[in-house]
Structure 1
């Protein structure tokens, strides 16, 4: 049911096909996993097909090794009229032990769309805990920063750089 589950975790093993030339899982594979978890979370929250509008602040904190169990957690931290901001944490570690280390973190913005591909309203998420209120406020601050960065980046697009 839309508007009830705001968090989702995907779990799987990192495979040899995910490795880069340095022997660690490559960033592109991690970004794919982030997008998959973000879609599943946003679709679950909105009850609609969703598209990725933005991925930002991606921090690769620690490498992931082949054979690690990987947990990609997506959580709604802000809702607009048709968009959802998701905090994404990727954790990984030896599957034989309980510990999982943070390997990657970022924010995704997903937009719900209708059958014609047009933005579609999503249920509002209202934070209740202190932590959730801070997450929402952080998402709002990040929106303001993205607007400034977007204006600055416009020069690059305009100048063809």
Structure 2
């Protein structure tokens, strides 16, 4: 599906997503038109889904990061859907993942400080519907964050 030129393009775009076509082409050994056509093809095929800004939440004053493992009361038919809909509305929830197993959902939550975290937890998280069990894991440090794929 991907040849060496495509992989080089992806490596360059992962490292520096704002590269201009001419710079990208020079780095991967293609003409600007060839490089851009390949980028457009990979976008059409869904290999490249877009570009996004990576925000450093701590720089913006959000010093607390908590991962919540949530088990839902699945005896109610719409428990999953209603929980997810309500969780999406909590502004401090930055990520929602679903799982198979004892834990149904993982929420990534940010807060400015412990006082703010306590307010978010008590007023917003505990108000989410159909929670049977919840476990909070406080982030201490990030050892490795890798968004780039080894292409």
TM value normalised by structure 1:
0.23
- Larger strand proportion, structure 1 or 2? 1
TM value normalised by structure 2:
0.24
